[in-house]
């Protein structure tokens, strides 16, 4: 059976069992296998774990055991998970330059909705796995990484030596990156530079912000290409490579990417959307009334992850914002699980694993208007076509090239 199939405009994966294995952690030793799973991985019920152990879906040292079996030092703990991968868009990966043994570099046009690496709930629906299974590549080393919702140009080394060479060029700032985006508002004309320092606020939430005191030096150049008074197409040239740098700098300037679920979100940032680094009033009292915990499928898929563990490096001053983001994400997850059946609000359950299934993403949830358009390095340049949402600015691309090459 083919791993991939298309239905209702989405690329899907048939649910399948996937093996996760890890050696016993020190804190597990001396506890029953049932206690370990039911107390540490609370994304599923105790009844599920008891049934999974009795059915042999959870094993100790490759053998079926009783729920009362004691975990000992060095034991191999295995959990066979019934995985439901989220569907993604059907736009295929575009091959910009088919790498060969001489140059050792594959260049692709990544469609939105595909993560680069297998992670979390995504495995087969990832750039690396699609290139392996649909295009026959192996031993791939992504040189630049794009967010799951971002589209555009990716450089992928075909061997470790090429990957090291490209890394050296990136660190030496010999590679120029150019992006196109669509932002909220009437972006100012002319050359705009944002050099506000950026810091990671919460790794698990992928949340980054401008922080003049503790942020890392960051710089992005912008140039407006076109606009209709409500939104603008903007050329972006990051001079540094911080996580979410373009998105964070645009938010700071007051022109966030118009469909960015993270940085153009009034529920989290308030009506000003974080313009100028101004945060909404975030009362600490929110922390005293947490929302119900939504199911966390990554906890059971990564045995080393404990439920409820928080980023250790989150500065106390940012905790109200982090909590507000957690509240918003939890609400979204609860809506996903509870509001799947429009007719009767009864969530659909998988008959094999008894877990609620996720609803299909809407087209708006499959992408953001940020596209890696053009990369240049010593003796080479690669470029992708503009996405459909940026076609109004296609006639102005030549002027951008002129400015970028100066």
| pLDDT on residue 321 | 83
Looking from the CA of 221 toward its CB, the CA atoms found within 13 Å total: 10
**CATH second-level architecture of 91-173?**
2-Layer Sandwich (3.30)
- In the predicted model, what is the mean pLDDT of the chain? 86
4-83 under CATH 3.40.47.10, yes or no: no
| pLDDT on residue 206 | 84
| pLDDT on residue 88 | 97
- Longest alpha-carbon distance in the chain: 70
Average pLDDT over residues 18-39: 96
**Residue 399: other Cβ atoms inside 10 A:** 13
Instruction: Report pLDDT digits (tens) over 299-326.
Output: 334 444 433 444 445 566 777 788 888 8
Tell which wins on pLDDT, 46 or 353.
46
Report percent pLDDT > 70 for the chain. 85
Q: Which residues are paired to 286 by β-bridges?
A: none
Q: Are strands 58-60 and 94-97 parallel, antiparallel or unpaired?
A: unpaired
Instruction: Report pLDDT digits (tens) over 184-217.
Output: 999 999 999 999 999 998 888 888 999 988 899 9
Question: What is the C-alpha to C-alpha distance for residues 296 and 334, in angstroms, rounded to an integer?
Answer: 11
DSSP state of 257: B
The answer, yes or no, to whether residue 76 has pLDDT greater than 50, is yes
Token output for 72:
């000992």
Active site residues: 147
| pLDDT on residue 22 | 96
| pLDDT on residue 315 | 62
Looking from the CA of 75 toward its CB, the CA atoms found within 13 Å total: 25
What is this structure's pTM? 0.83
Do the Cβ atoms of 377 and 169 come closer than 8 Å? yes
**pLDDT range class, residue 400, cuts 50, 70, 90:** confident
Residue (of 376, 406, 404) closest to 173 by Cα position: 376
| pLDDT on residue 2 | 84
Token output for 301:
């898929």
The answer, yes or no, to whether residue 376 has pLDDT greater than 70, is yes
Question: Matching CATH topology for 4-83 and 175-406?
Answer: no
Sequence spans of domains, the chain: 4-83, 91-173, 175-406
Instruction: Look at the domain 175-406 and name its fold.
Output: Pseudouridine synthase (3.30.2350)
| pLDDT on residue 347 | 55
Instruction: Report pLDDT digits (tens) over 213-254.
Output: 889 999 999 999 999 999 999 999 999 999 999 999 999 999
């Amino acid at each position: 059976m083919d791993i991939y199939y298309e239905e209702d405009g989405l690329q899907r994966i048939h649910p399948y069992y996937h093996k996760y294995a890890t050696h016993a952690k020190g804190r597990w030793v001396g506890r029953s296998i049932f206690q370990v799973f039911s107390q540490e991985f609370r994304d599923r019920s105790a009844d599920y774990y008891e049934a999974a152990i009795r059915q042999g879906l959870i094993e100790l040292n490759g053998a079926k055991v009783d729920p009362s079996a004691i975990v000992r030092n060095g034991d191999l703990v295995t959990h066979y998970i019934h995985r439901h991968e989220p569907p993604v868009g059907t736009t295929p990966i575009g091959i910009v330059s088919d790498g060969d043994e001489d140059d050792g570099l594959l260049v692709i046009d990544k469609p939105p909705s595909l993560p680069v690496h297998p992670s979390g709930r995504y495995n087969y629906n990832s750039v690396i796995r699609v290139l392996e299974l649909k295009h026959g590549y192996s031993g791939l080393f992504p040189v630049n990484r794009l967010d799951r919702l971002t589209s555009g140009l990716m450089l992928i080394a075909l061997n470790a030596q090429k990957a090291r060479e490209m890394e050296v060029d990136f660190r030496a700032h010999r590679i120029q990156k150019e992006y196109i985006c669509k932002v909220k508002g009437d972006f100012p004309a002319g050359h705009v530079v944002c050099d506000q320092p950026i810091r990671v606020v919460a790794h698990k939430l992928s949340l980054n912000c401008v922080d003049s005191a503790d942020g890392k030096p960051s710089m992005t150049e912008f140039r407006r290409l076109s606009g209709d008074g409500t939104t603008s197409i903007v050329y972006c040239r990051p001079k540094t490579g911080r996580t979410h740098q373009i998105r964070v700098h645009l938010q700071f300037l007051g022109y966030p990417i118009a469909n960015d679920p993270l940085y153009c979100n009034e529920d989290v940032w308030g009506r000003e959307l974080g313009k100028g680094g101004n945060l909404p009033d975030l009362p600490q009292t929110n922390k005293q009334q947490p929302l119900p915990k939504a199911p966390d499928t990554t906890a059971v898929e990564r045995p080393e992850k404990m439920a409820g563990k928080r980023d250790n490096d989150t500065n106390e001053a940012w905790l109200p914002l982090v909590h507000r983001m957690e509240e918003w994400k939890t609400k979204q997850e609860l809506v996903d699980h509870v509001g799947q059946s429009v007719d009767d609000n009864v969530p659909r359950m998988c008959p094999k694993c008894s877990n609620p299934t996720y609803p299909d993403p809407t087209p708006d949830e499959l992408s953001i208007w940020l596209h890696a358009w053009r990369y240049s390095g010593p003796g080479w340049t690669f470029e992708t076509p503009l996405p459909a949402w940026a076609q109004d600015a296609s006639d102005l691309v030549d002027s951008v090239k002129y400015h970028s090459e100066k």
